Amino acid sequence: MSRETKTTVGVDFGTESARAVLIDVETGRELASAVRRYSSGVIDHRLPVTGAALPPDWALQDPDDYLESLGATVRAVLEDSGTDPVDVIGIGIDFTACTMLPVTSDGTPLCRIPEFRPQPHAWVKLWKHHSAQPEADLINHTAEQRGEPWLDRYGRRTSSEWFFAKSLQILDEAPEIYAAADRLIEAADWIVWQLTGVESRNSCTAGYKALWSKRDGFPEKAFFAALAPGFTDVVDQKMSRRISSPGEMAGVISGEAAALTGLRPGTPVAVANVDAHVSVPAATVVAPGALVAVMGTSTCHLALADIDRVVPGFCGVVEDGVIPGLFGYEAGQTAVGDMFAWFTNLVSGDSRSDAHGSLELEASMLAPGASGLVALDWWNGNRSVLVDAELTGLLLGATLSTEPGEIYRALLEATVFGTRVIIETLEKSGIGTDQIVACGGLPFQNRLLMQLTADITGLPVRVAASRQTPALGSAMFAAVAAGRDRGGHDSIVEASQAMARLGDDEYLPDGSAKPTYDDLFAIYRDLHDSMSSETSEMRRLRSVQVRAREAVPA
């Protein structure tokens, strides 16, 4: 073994690009970073091969974009840092989830096979593919009817984004693809398979996205049979019951993967993880009390607790799902940075950061409540706590003198009101929050959003020092997979203490803003409850839209 600095590589697969970092295992220092956009990006209008239009709410990707980005970014961090691959003691990856694809028994994506390539269901379904709502409805209804014991763990409602909704949509709409798929697999696990040559499955996506638990495993066959006769054996035929935990070693770099990445064959590969979840220890949080907000296009909230509670509208509670020995509670907001970018693009035809910056500047000069605006932040549905992809956005209070910066601020505030609903829901279930630790790209781009988060929730807000917490977290889990003997760490708690830090800024709540924000939050909350009711104008409007779109195909 070399006497040089020991490092690990973490690769974070995001919505638009992949990013690799090379991290000093002892100090957490980032030695190099590289990012690569996916050539085909998010495929949500037309399929690249045929040019065929996709229906509304579809979002696909090309898995070969992942491999291309993986190879390019890992090679780049090695080269840029001048690192000898012998000093790289492990690699870990994390991914958006549930992002899944159908593959053959050797791991070949069906969409790479010419016969299946023109069929949209052969491609990767990205996390924000939302057209499996009928399947999610069926899953929820069936689970409710059958009194499935696992339903409580998921706030009594599962999402159209999750693994079985997406899988069942393939069976419903493209049975030939379902039949041709030897495996249905999370992209996270598929990447680890490409690195090691061996299929493995991680407990984080299994727990949060595929109804699995450490104690009870997957739902029973009779449940899947009740969804569709052909779906009875989905777990045994298309998946695996062998689930590994984050921090374990999934295998080692294969010869083929070494050629792709420049790493040495035999380098340990950590079990895959989810981008948000891997961020928690990278944001220094390994104990109950803090709410971690992973803020980007959407926001994922993660809380740790030593108690097992049912929290209505949460995405899930998974034992050991984030940190071993604790229950990990996940909630989410589906439109955060995405919604700000939508608005920035609306007003400037451009969503560059300087356009954001000028809106943020205008917004930051306003007094709380002075714009007379309030919004419901449901531009991409609502995940927590309503769990309904069909809810839509609302802006109330515009006048002829309303300025873009005022709307921008109202959208920022709306996302924090949504966060406050999540915190209050946790609180009602007995899980308190004493601070917020933010990470992801947004906290670095939008200081106003951080201050609003403190002012509206009444909690102090800290920001993780790393701008790349998912990739850092993956590198940390790679260090744990490598273990102390190879120069890594024995546990994620130990890795977090050595490798993770908070930034210096602390956002404290402005008490003078509180009464106004309490009033605005009460209005938000009433709109939240009335517009999500069964017969609301929002629901009826959606029905009109569905009928209109059926009548006139796009």
Interface positions with a second copy (CB under 8 A): 56, 335, 338-339, 342, 346-349, 367-374, 379-380, 392-402, 404, 407, 516, 519-520, 522-523, 526-527, 537-538, 540-542, 544-545, 547-549, 551-552
User: Distance between CA 518 and CA 315 in Å, rounded?
Assistant: 26
Contact 58, 44 (CB under 8 A): yes
For 88, 108, 147, the CA distances from 164, given in Å and listed in that order, are 37, 21, 18
Which helix (H) or strand (E) is 12 found in, with range?
strand 7-13
The 8-class DSSP code of residue 157 comes to -
Q: Nearer to a second copy by C-beta: 69 or 380?
A: 380
Structure tokens at 271: 């079990």
Minimum gap (Å) between residue 509 Cβ and a second copy: 18
CB nearer to a second copy: pick between 237 and 402: 402
Q: Which is nearer to a second copy, 275 or 406 (CB)?
A: 406
Pick 212 or 378: Cβ nearer a second copy = 378
Q: Specify the DSSP element, H or E, that contains 405.
A: helix 404-428
Question: Is residue 514 helix, strand or coil?
Answer: helix
**Token pair of 189 as six digits:** 């696990």
Shortest separation between residue 522's beta carbon and a second copy, angstroms: 8
Close Cβ partners of 496 (under 8 Å, ≥ 6 residues apart): 281, 282, 284, 285, 286, 476
Residue 94 vs 377, nearer CB to a second copy: 377
Residues 164 and 154: their CA atoms lie apart, in Å, by 14
Angle 445-431-451 (CA atoms, 0-180°, nearest 5)?
25
Minimum separation from the CB atom of position 172 to a second copy (A): 23
Instruction: Let me know: does 101 contact 194? Beta carbons within 8 Å.
Output: no
Q: Give 257 or 411: the residue with its C-beta nearer to a second copy.
A: 411
Smallest gap from Cβ 365 to a second copy, in A, equals 11
Least distance from a second copy to the Cβ atom of residue 442, Å: 16
Cβ 439 to a second copy, closest distance in Å?
23
205 Cα distance to chain centroid: 10
Rounded CA gap, 167 and 175, in Å? 10
Measured CA to CA in angstroms, residue 144 lies from 147, 226, 304, 534 at distances of: 5, 12, 27, 18
CA atoms within 13 Å, Cβ hemisphere of 16 = 4
Q: Cβ of residue 438: shortest distance to a second copy, in angstroms?
A: 22
Q: How far is the CB of 340 from a second copy (least distance, A)?
A: 11
Nearer to a second copy, 230 or 393 (CB): 393
**Residue (374 or 426) nearer to a second copy, CB:** 374
**Is residue 434 packed enough to be buried (19+ CB in 10 Å), middle (13-18) or exposed (0-12)?**
exposed
Cβ at position 550, least distance to a second copy in Å: 10
In the complex with a second copy, the residue whose CB is nearer, 289 or 369, is 369
